[in-house]
Structure 1
Amino acid sequence: MTLNDTADPLDDAVLAARLFALAPATFKGMVLRGNSPAREALVAALGARVTLRRMPGHIDDERLLGGIDLAASLSAGRPIRQTGLIEEARGGVLLAGMAERMDGSIAGRLAQSLDEGQAALVLLDDATEPEEAPPASLTERLAFACDLSTSRRWQGVALAPAAGTLALVAPLGDDALRALAATADALGVESVRALIFAGEAARGLAALDGRGAAEKADLTGAVRLVLAPRATRLPPQEQDAPPEDKPPPPEGERDDQSDGEQQQQELDLSDILVEAAKAAIPADLLAQLAQGKAPRRSSSSGTGQKRKAATRGKPLGARPGMPRGGAKLALIDSLRAAVPWQAVRRREAGANDASAILMRKEDLRIRRFEERAARVTIFAVDASGSAAAARLAEAKGAVELMLGQAYVTRSEVALVAFRGTSAELILPPTRSLTRARRTLAELPGGGGTPLAMGLNAAREVAEAVIARGRSAALVILTDGRANIAADGAPGRPQAAADAEAAAKAIYARGIDALVVDISARPGPEGAALAAALGGRFLALPRADARMITAAINAVQPIGKAA
């Protein structure tokens, strides 16, 4: 039985919160995923130990960093500065909700404040999709990441005070540091910050118990709290080598034997820490790593490409500009930009202090919004040859699975099939599962492989999708072995050249593409096609519909700008 089977994630989260409260400036902060009563209870308990200030979700630079207090400035007739939220929270902790939706510019300001030691940070991650995540620029700078979405406890959460302080704990020895570094390497944790946090966490665990030096159990706890949630791969499985019969060492080499024993002790400690990390990796992350998937790194939700909008969507900061072409005037921001210049402008105009605010063109600010364009995933399926039945069956299943997610991800699905001497749009972009099933039921197969025709047809569908303001991505199920040219004539050399030209046309248009080869023996043609497309390649022999759908969701990049 592993730790995941016996322990509630709240236990480790409480321990991490105790460490954070012990030294906020050292550990920088926490990421708390999962909107649950357990998280609310932990935040309340943390608020009893440190000073928490909540940060609004759509905060602007003036409120975050400080700027002109517009109301006070208008009343006083001179610029009055207001303090920013970071300055108000100096020495305390900022609490940021819905961190998975945080704007990149705000994340950059917070990252700078963390580096300067102005305030620590607690991010509340309310993501519902596995791909969503707070900005990596912040999560890398915070020591602890806890997922409380599966916690079943929330009563009686309290952070017991520490028996000692971090300053009274001795630095880690070389053996311990090497063991932590080896563990980080085995888990694929490349960040030096994470290694530093792990070392400080080991010392912090000793401080919580009032000890002056970290022990093996403290190193194990540090690996569990800091390194395990950051794992990007499973540690390699080592085979037990049979014992070798070695003669006793010569008399002159016995001094070297003690060095070998010391190295063996270091290896044993590393093995212990690696095993502790494997036991502490969350179950869902463990499954992802077993499938070769790295954990989520950014806040992309898998819906569609982000694009700037003038009238609706997620509010962004205002920018200089004229309110025309549908753009709206940001009145408060425009006034805030004009206030610092009033004294100079009044002197130039010969006006008194009681005159109206003097505005100029350069003061005008317009509102900005960001919205996600609907995504259309276009399947281009090779319906030719003996493998047609398998490809079509799995393509149908993948289409149905993706349509089942359509209303959540705001996505649509289209299907192009190519065989013989033609390529046809079998299923136009749709969210209708009923329509898709009816259309896919009688999808034919067999014949030659007109790959160039299929790619050209898929590109035309993608261009039509982009012209309507949506983002398009191609998923091409083929082994890449074309034998029908673009004009319908048989012949592999010309068919391969035409397919390469069609792929380069898709690449030139900037359309995302993923080539999936589900043939029993994938050859080099599929990878070559993906290279010409500037896209990704997956060889999935014996893949089923669920594997194809998972691969598309995990690998397919979201939206180049159209």
Structure 2
Amino acid sequence: MQQELIEDALYDALLAAALFARNPTRFGGIKITASAGPVRDRYLDFLKHCLGPEFLSRKLPLNIADDRLFGGLDLSATLQAGRPIFNRGLLAEVNGGLLIVPMAERLSRGLAARIAAVMDRRRVCVQREGFATESAADFGIVLLDERAADDEQVPAELVDRITFQVDLEGFSYRSLEDAIDLFEVGLRDDGMPVQAGPSELDDGILHALCTTAMALGVDSLRALSATKRVSEQSALWFSRRTVTPEDAAIAARLVLAPRATRCPVEPEETSSEPQPPADCAPSDNDRTQTKQDPVNDKSDPALDEPTSLENLNDLDEVVLGAAKAAIPAGLLSQLLSGQTLRGRGSGSGTSGVQQKGGLRGRPLGVRSGPPSGRARLSVIDTLRAAAPWQKLRAGSTRYPLSRVKITADDFRIQRFKARTETTTIFAVDASGSSALHRLAEAKGAVELLLADCYVRRDQVAVIAFRGKRAEVILPPTRSLVRAKRSLSGLPGGGGTPLALAIDACLQLAHSIARRGETPLIVMLTDGKANVGRDGEPGRERAQSDAVRAAQQVAMCGFTAMVIDTSPQPSEAAQKIATEMHARYLPLPYAGAAEVSRFVKAMA
């Protein structure tokens, strides 16, 4: 069973590459999720083999300047010729070819949006540095997704404009090589498909594709249009004059399944006979019905009918079943757990404030201004700004010995964008109520979170509150050993001074923010305060103090998370989270690993 799943997934990945290679500009692009290594390299070799040895391809550097990407002044040629020379950008150079984007998950949203605009218009327009040009830029794009964590995502602007998404994680080089050999044997036996003309698409097939997209929560019209194109290309690939349900199933597997945002709900049966429980897991029958093989497909095109099923509902179920069977395992587990997949951002996923300026970080273009101790001169951009004025300045007596005439107005300063460090403040409830419940498990969850912060080189701080006080038992540090030692000696018992704990978190967060860092507050408590700010017992007054303290955190705008450590979800903890504008997560329904994932997504 497991071997069949691997073979089916690899077959779909190879079929996606083969279909994409038939018309890269029509399909927009393909996203390949895999770490850099022999598996990804072999898949790219297969894709290039399908495209042909003469097919044009270019790689996109991660921090490419706009003038090199879209076009601009050619500085060296301009200085040599003594007049402005325009240099076509990379997007114009790759017209009709393939643009390969390594580490696509690191692309900034701004750069992704500008590339997406060029893909929409299929032309690149340049109006800068005295030039006003327009060049053809019709290309396919290969997004290499090398993310090491779930919170790193390729910008949605580009993903929405491509057709295929392939996930190679977990596959061995040998299994991929064997799958390629079998695929190529089928092509040698049957011959390369001949693209004779457009295939006819029946309304019933289109209805089934729309129904499947709605059931999987795919609301992008671009995705639905891509599904239609893939079904038509599949019919051409298998030498069919009309699009069949098998072609629709292939399109649903390749396009809709990777984009699923929810698990479709099976309709209730009215029959009195017992029915097996609905499940999104793939079955052998699903894969047997939907799998196509270029070796075994010997159907006569003249016998193919647009819909060979009895009614439209049966066709919808076949296409939806094929899409469900092809949902990646990791994505399927998230859908079954009810986790929403909408609105996921791109980039590293950290909430650190992006600081502009300075001398470190990612280049963010240039600005006019004189150089100084905190502003680095960009020599290339300064020369580029001065180049168009050289002919006017040639007759001036201000520059008798200078071949290149530069004024203060030409100075360009390099701008950088650096993320500030994130410091996660863990406030651990060590009171009697929490100790009686699951203080030990809370410590385990915190240690997992501490290890994750250590990997990301962020800092952690720990505040423990019990009895009549809340104290910082671990100042902000990167030492995982020190943090675990402070937690291992954390005693339990006593009252719950929740208001004092929130005040301590707020005070430490202000101190962290003043240093230019980003604080993240994570509270592990059951929310049942019984000690007020003055240290006196009293549940009603203590709860009121805690609510007011939580409101102060919300007013300051700090990112916060409340993890409920009680056996059952507590209304008190939920109220604290609401007043704090924090995310609420009950620990009984989320293990330590899941808690770590949620905090990592926020931090």
* Fold shared by both chains (TM-score > 0.5): yes
Maintained 8 Å contact 1:164/1:210? yes
2:241 to 186, 200, 212: 212
Maintained 8 Å contact 2:529/2:539? yes
- Distance apart, 1:319 and its partner CA: 3.1
Maintained 8 Å contact 2:434/2:526? no
2:294 match: none
2:152 match: 132
1:320 match: 368
Q: Return the alpha-carbon distance in structure 2 between the equivalents of residues 333 and 534 of structure 1.
A: 45
Maintained 8 Å contact 1:376/1:413? yes
Q: Which residue identity is paired with 2:165?
A: A
Residue 278 of structure 2 is aligned to residue 230 of structure 1: no
1:283 match: 329
Residue 57 of structure 2 is aligned to residue 52 of structure 1: yes
1:36 match: 37
Q: Return the alpha-carbon distance in structure 2 between the equivalents of residues 532 and 360 of structure 1.
A: 57
- Distance apart, 1:89 and its partner CA: 1.0
Maintained 8 Å contact 1:418/1:450? yes
Superposition RMSD in Å? 2.8
TM-score (norm 2): 0.82
Q: 1:540 to 1:167 in 2, by over 3 A?
A: farther
Trace 1:510-549 onto structure 2 (pairs within 5 A): 510-541=557-588, 543-549=590-596
Q: Which residue identity is paired with 1:441?
A: S
Q: Return the alpha-carbon distance in structure 2 between the equivalents of residues 412 and 551 of structure 1.
A: 17
- Distance apart, 1:9 and its partner CA: 4.0
- Distance apart, 1:137 and its partner CA: 0.9
1:192 match: 221
Q: 1:135 to 1:353 in 2, by over 3 A?
A: farther
Stretch deviating more after TM superposition (515-524 or 126-135): 515-524
Deviation per CA, 1:341-380, whole angstroms, max 9, x where unpaired?
A: 3334446x47899963333334222223333333222111
Q: Return the alpha-carbon distance in structure 2 between the equivalents of residues 186 and 231 of structure 1.
A: 9
1:332 match: 380
Deviation per CA, 1:63-92, whole angstroms, max 9, x where unpaired?
A: 011100001111111101111111111121
- Distance apart, 1:290 and its partner CA: 2.5
Deviation per CA, 1:412-471, whole angstroms, max 9, x where unpaired?
A: 322212223211112222333332332222312233322211111111222222233332
Residue 460 of structure 2 is aligned to residue 413 of structure 1: yes
Q: Return the alpha-carbon distance in structure 1 between the equivalents of residues 419 and 585 of structure 2.
A: 27
Q: 1:496 to 1:363 in 2, by over 3 A?
A: farther
Trace 1:149-164 onto structure 2 (pairs within 5 A): 149-153=169-173, 154-155=176-177, 163-164=193-194
Residue 185 of structure 2 is aligned to residue 165 of structure 1: no
Maintained 8 Å contact 1:475/1:514? yes
Maintained 8 Å contact 1:77/1:353? no
2:250 to 216, 221, 239: 221
Q: Return the alpha-carbon distance in structure 2 between the equivalents of residues 149 and 331 of structure 1.
A: 43
- Distance apart, 1:264 and its partner CA: 8.4
- Secondary structure, aligned partner of 1:319: strand
Q: 1:499 to 1:216 in 2, by over 3 A?
A: same
- Distance apart, 1:100 and its partner CA: 1.4
- Secondary structure, aligned partner of 2:117: helix
Residue 270 of structure 2 is aligned to residue 265 of structure 1: no
Q: Return the alpha-carbon distance in structure 2 between the equivalents of residues 353 and 12 of structure 1.
A: 69
Q: Which residue identity is paired with 1:120?
A: G
Stretch deviating more after TM superposition (397-406 or 287-296): 287-296
Structure 1: gaps spanning 5 or more residues? 245-261
- Secondary structure, aligned partner of 1:32: strand
Residue 145 of structure 2 is aligned to residue 97 of structure 1: no
Stretch deviating more after TM superposition (126-135 or 38-47): 38-47
Q: Return the alpha-carbon distance in structure 1 between the equivalents of residues 195 and 576 of structure 2.
A: 60
- Secondary structure, aligned partner of 2:5: helix
Maintained 8 Å contact 1:39/1:148? yes
- Distance apart, 1:195 and its partner CA: 1.2
Deviation per CA, 1:311-349, whole angstroms, max 9, x where unpaired?
A: 2233333333332242211110111122123334446x4
Q: Which residue identity is paired with 1:289?
A: L
- Secondary structure, aligned partner of 1:521: coil
2:24 match: 24
Q: 1:387 to 1:354 in 2, by over 3 A?
A: closer
- Distance apart, 1:168 and its partner CA: 1.6
- Secondary structure, aligned partner of 2:376: coil
- Distance apart, 1:54 and its partner CA: 1.6
Stretch deviating more after TM superposition (230-239 or 276-285): 230-239
Q: Which residue identity is paired with 2:206?
A: L
2:140 match: 120
Residue 407 of structure 2 is aligned to residue 363 of structure 1: no
2:347 to 280, 295, 300: 300
Q: 1:534 to 1:307 in 2, by over 3 A?
A: same
Deviation per CA, 1:242-300, whole angstroms, max 9, x where unpaired?
A: 349xxxxxxxxxxxxxxxxx998322222222222222111222222233334594333
1:249 match: none
Stretch deviating more after TM superposition (99-108 or 399-408): 399-408
Residue 61 of structure 2 is aligned to residue 15 of structure 1: no
Q: Return the alpha-carbon distance in structure 1 between the equivalents of residues 153 and 418 of structure 2.
A: 18
Q: Which residue identity is paired with 1:328?
A: R
Residue 478 of structure 2 is aligned to residue 431 of structure 1: yes
Maintained 8 Å contact 1:164/1:211? no
Trace 1:367-516 onto structure 2 (pairs within 5 A): 367-516=414-563
Q: Return the alpha-carbon distance in structure 1 between the equivalents of residues 595 and 351 of structure 2.
A: 19
Deviation per CA, 1:502-537, whole angstroms, max 9, x where unpaired?
A: 222222322110112232232433333222222212
- Secondary structure, aligned partner of 1:122: strand
- Secondary structure, aligned partner of 2:588: coil
Maintained 8 Å contact 1:9/1:150? no
Q: Return the alpha-carbon distance in structure 1 between the equivalents of residues 219 and 520 of structure 2.
A: 31
Q: 1:22 to 1:263 in 2, by over 3 A?
A: closer
Aligned residues between the structures: 537
Q: Return the alpha-carbon distance in structure 1 between the equivalents of residues 364 and 523 of structure 2.
A: 36
- Distance apart, 1:200 and its partner CA: 1.1
- Distance apart, 1:62 and its partner CA: 0.3
- Secondary structure, aligned partner of 1:515: strand
Q: 1:169 to 1:538 in 2, by over 3 A?
A: same
- Distance apart, 1:141 and its partner CA: 0.8
Maintained 8 Å contact 2:202/2:243? no
- Secondary structure, aligned partner of 1:541: helix
TM-score (norm 1): 0.88
Maintained 8 Å contact 2:205/2:244? no
Q: Which residue identity is paired with 2:325?
A: A
Q: 1:512 to 1:142 in 2, by over 3 A?
A: same
Residue 179 of structure 2 is aligned to residue 178 of structure 1: no
Q: 1:300 to 1:532 in 2, by over 3 A?
A: farther
2:133 match: none
Maintained 8 Å contact 2:525/2:563? yes
Q: 1:293 to 1:167 in 2, by over 3 A?
A: farther
- Distance apart, 1:133 and its partner CA: 1.9
Stretch deviating more after TM superposition (510-519 or 267-276): 267-276
- Distance apart, 1:304 and its partner CA: 5.2
Q: Return the alpha-carbon distance in structure 1 between the equivalents of residues 80 and 480 of structure 2.
A: 61
